[in-house]
Amino acid sequence: MALLCTRAHVTNRLVALGKRQTWARAASAMPDVEHEPWSPPRTPVPDYDGWDAQLEADFLPRRSTHSKSYHQSRPPVSNPRAGIVDSVLDLVGQTPMIRLTRLSKELGISDEIDLIAKCEFFNAGGSVKDRVGLRMVEEAEKDKRIKPGDTLIEPTSGNTGIGLSLAGAVKGYNVVITMPMKMSEEKMNTMKALGAEIIRTPTEAAWDAPDSHITVAAELAEASPNAHVLDQYLNAGNPLAHYDGTAEEMLRQTGGEIDVVVMAAGTGGTVTGVGRKLKEVLPHVKVVAVDPVGSILAVPDNLNDYKRLEGYQVEGIGYDFIPTVLDRNIIDSWVKIDDDKAFDMARKMIRHEGLMVGGSSGSCMAGAYEYIKEHEAELKGKRVVILCADSIRNYMSKFLADEWMEEHDLPSRFGPADGEESPAESLMSKVREKKMSGLKGALDMGWLSQSEYEAACAALEK
Ligand code: P1T
């Protein structure tokens, strides 16, 4: 039944586009009537338009934990890292939460606000999207929609692709990934190492263009009954992974003490699943979503006017359409964050907390910072949780490298402030001074000639 539901879901979404194509064909058969020029038949893509009744119907019966009240006595979850696990898939989830005291101090945030990070980069494949890759596979297996040996095709900005590739490698699926060119080589090579094949699509293609990562995936899946797009943009398994997993963990880890939760939105599965569970259990919780400048997910829509649909560098978040798994009704506030603020904050998180995060974690924290600044007085005594979605491993050649930052006109701010001496520089000047005084002594004793002394000094200066 659940299988039929999911298929009907996708089929209905395709009907509208199919009808449009039929009209185009009928028109081209009538030569005397003015009609649109013929264009090659296009593979229809789902008409994503935010959370809807069909997804709600798919979501509700699949929840594994859905009590509305929170009891501290919920049975503890065993720690998979304490013993031996059967496969790496057992290490998806159960991520730590870390208090960001040092970053708070650096940013001048009141020490009466408890700032905590849910560190999703500790997942086996390195991101929050491991949960989604695995859950979508498990749901499809339960429905008997897929079986080992089948081919899973997924349009992704890479992390869902890594999660799926991880599940595919362990469970025996072929994985084909369609991914815009913008996304990092680090992600591509990780997926290749896991056995996936990667098809790169143009970054500038609109979501429903013939060459978009979404359309190309749909086209490939049409070619064989054993090829499937699980489709993170409309698959209930995406928000469910966070409703049953990420949010449940947050509740247990904090003893139910959360006041604000901040997440950056891509498909919106994280913010929808986490936000929904937290609000069911703790109705006072405020859910804050972060959308990159250039994207159009934020509400009200005029927030998106500045640089609307212009390109940006942060990966994994923001879109030019509203994914079905994004329930914008769950979100209390949206914050828009640009590349400059995102990467600067990610670098600060690495530098001051040792959190090896990716760019969207910087967006998330920068959004939290703006929210906190605006609500500082009322947040005293409260706890703010941010979610760090992925790891610096995905961006070693990108925002971690000063050269890349400079190339993209982004300020690189590692190292001491301008005019300040770094610890290494200070040590080196002390060593130089000591050697200089040795040389002077040798000159005074007549062990060095004046010219030898000057040559040795010049060499030291270098
Ligand atoms: O998709 P969502 O649950 O909204 O998570 C957003 C997100 C945040 N940060 C990073 C680094 C991400 O990769 C993502 C989402 N990533 C995908 C949609 C993807 O295909 O990998």
Tens-place pLDDT, residues 425-438: 899 999 999 999 99
Measured distance CA(46)–CA(27) in Å, rounded: 24
Residues 179 and 317 reside in one and the same domain? no
pLDDT score of 66: 60
The percentage of the chain sitting over the pLDDT mark of 90, rounded to a whole number, equals: 82
Predicted confidence at residue 292, as pLDDT, reads: 98
| Position 127 confidence tier, pLDDT thresholds 50, 70, 90 | very high
Could you tell me the residue range of the domain that residue 150 belongs to?
129-229
Q: From the CA of 317, how far away is ligand 1's center (Å)? A: 6
pLDDT tens for each residue of 339-357: 999 999 999 999 999 999 9
27 found inside a domain: no
Nearest CA to ligand 1 atom 5: 266
How many domains is the chain built from?
A: 3
Quick check: is 218 in a domain? yes
Determine the pLDDT at residue 23.
Answer: 36
* Protein residue whose Cα sits closest to atom 10 of ligand 1: 316
| Residue 11 placed within a domain | no
- Whether ligand 1 lies within 6 angstroms of the CB of 125 is answered as no
The CA 335 to ligand 1 mean position distance, Å, reads 17
Most ligand 1 atoms within 8 A of CB, residue of 356, 360, 364, 392 to mutate = 360
DSSP 8-state code for residue 293: B
Distances (CA, A) of 106 to 100, 135, 152, 336: 10, 38, 45, 22
The alpha carbon of 75 and the centre of ligand 1 are apart by a number of angstroms equal to 30
Per-residue pLDDT tens digits for 258-292? 999 999 999 999 999 999 999 999 999 999 999 99
Given pLDDT bands bounded at 50, 70 and 90, which one contains residue 70?
A: low
Identify the weakest region by mean pLDDT among 25-29, 135-139, 149-153, 329-333: 25-29
Confidence grade of residue 73 (pLDDT, cut at 50, 70, 90): low
| Best of 118, 129, 132 for a ligand 1 pocket test (most atoms within 8 Å of beta carbon) | 129
- Nearest protein CA to atom 21 of ligand 1, as residue: 159
pLDDT digits (tens, 9 = 90+) for 304-349: 999 999 999 999 999 999 999 999 999 999 999 999 999 999 999 9
Say if CB 385 and CB 250 are below 8 A apart. Answer: yes
**Mean predicted lDDT score pLDDT of the chain:** 91
Q: What is the pLDDT of residues 378-412, one digit of tens each?
A: 999 999 999 999 999 999 999 999 999 999 999 87
Q: Is there a single domain that holds both residue 454 and residue 339?
A: no
Q: Is the CB of 156 under 6 A from ligand 1?
A: yes
pLDDT recorded at residue 143: 97
Q: Which atom of ligand 1 is nearest to the CA of 326?
A: 4
Q: What is the CATH number of the domain that holds 317?
A: 3.40.50.1100
Q: What is the pLDDT of residue 37?
A: 77
Is residue 462's pLDDT more than 60?
yes
Ligand 1 atom nearest the C-alpha of 389 is: 9
Token pair for 462 = 């270098």
pLDDT of res. 448: 92
Per-residue pLDDT tens over the stretch 227-267: 999 999 999 999 999 999 999 999 999 999 999 999 999 99
Tell me, yes or no, whether 307 lies in a domain.
Answer: yes
Cβ atoms of 322 and 49 within 8 Å: the answer is yes
- Based on the fold, state whether residues 300 and 205 are members of the same structural domain: no
CA of 364 to the centre of ligand 1 (A): 12
Q: Which of 179, 200, 229 is the last residue of a domain?
A: 229
Residue 317 CB–ligand 1 contact under 6 Å? yes
Chain centroid to Cα 184, Å, comes to: 13
pTM, full prediction: 0.89
User: Does 38 reside within a domain?
Assistant: no
Residue 31 located in a structural domain: no
Q: Is there a single domain that holds both residue 69 and residue 177?
A: no
Q: What is the pLDDT of residue 11?
A: 44
Q: Are residues 146 and 214 in the same domain?
A: yes
What's the pLDDT tens digit per position in 358-370?
Answer: 999 999 999 999 9
Which residue's CA is the closest to the ligand 1 atom numbered 14?
A: 316
Q: Is the CB of 390 under 6 A from ligand 1?
A: yes
Asked if residue 262 and residue 379 are part of one domain, the reply reads yes
**pLDDT at position 169:** 98
pLDDT higher than threshold 90 for residue 75: no
In a domain, 415, yes or no: no
- Do residues 138 and 105 both lie within one domain? no
Judgement on whether residues 367 and 439 belong to the same structural domain of the protein: no
Which of 17, 460, 450, 379 has its CA nearest to residue 208?
A: 17
- Which alpha helices (H) appear in 172-299, and where do they start and end? 185-193, 213-222, 237-240, 247-254, 269-281
Give the model's pLDDT for residue 35.
73
Does residue 222 sit in the same domain as residue 120?
no
Q: What are the residue numbers of the active site?
A: 129
Cβ partners under 8 Å of residue 272, min gap 6: 51, 239, 242, 325, 326, 327, 330
Asked which of 171, 195, 229 is the last residue of a domain, the reply is 229
Nearest CA-CA partner of 126 in 347, 361, 326: 361
Please report, rounded to a whole number, the percentage of residues in the chain having pLDDT higher than 70.
90
At 19 the pLDDT is 36
251 and 114 in a common domain? yes
Q: Is the distance from CB of 206 to CB of 212 less than 8 angstroms?
A: yes
Q: How far is the CA of 266 from the centre of ligand 1 (A)?
A: 5
Higher pLDDT pick, 60 / 67: 60
Asked if residue 361 is part of any domain, the answer here is yes
Q: Which of 177, 317, 356 to mutate to test the pocket of ligand 1 (most atoms within 8 A of CB)?
A: 317
pLDDT of amino acid 5 = 35
Q: 99 and 156: one domain?
A: no
In degrees, rounded to 5, the angle at the alpha carbon of residue 131 between the alpha carbons of residues 129 and 132 is: 65
